[in-house]
Amino acid sequence: PLDVGLAVESPKGLVAPVITDLGSATLDDVVEACTALVESARNDTLRASQLSGGVISISNVGMFGATGLIPIVNPGQSSILGVGASQELFRPDDGGKPVLRHILSLALSCDHRVVDGAGAARFLQSIKTGLESPYKLLRRAGVRTIS
């Protein structure tokens, strides 16, 4: 099973409740599970069983305006994905001319006793590819899109 922790600010500080069985979940299932889990964390109604397990967590500091971070792997997990705030920055195009681009900083920290660094790099590349081609990502998730 694919169990993913979400770093959430709660009345008791930062917690990382876990969404379970995401391997076969639809995009709607994921959104619903995330929304319910974040609401439970913010209302301080999480169960103890929701605070353990998971193989990876996601920490989004973008909501605080931070553009990047180096996340620390949670105990018992093998990795954590850090997400910063989206920025608009000028980057050169193929001809060297400045073009305004949307940039999102992602950082993947892994326990190398469990995760091979090359596999982690490929995983991060697949996230990048999905974010750069959201229609393909949504189609793969079974969402009908308008091209």
CA dist 55 to 2, 18, 70, 77, 109, Å? 7, 9, 18, 5, 12
Set 21, 28, 102, 112: catalytic member: 112
Set 21, 29, 111, 116: catalytic member: 116
First to last CA, the chain: 33
Q: Is 102 in the active site?
A: no
CB-based contact 5:57 (threshold 8 Å): yes
What is the β-pairing status of strands 4-6 and 79-83?
A: unpaired
Q: Is 28 in the active site?
A: no
Q: Catalytic positions, please?
A: 112, 116
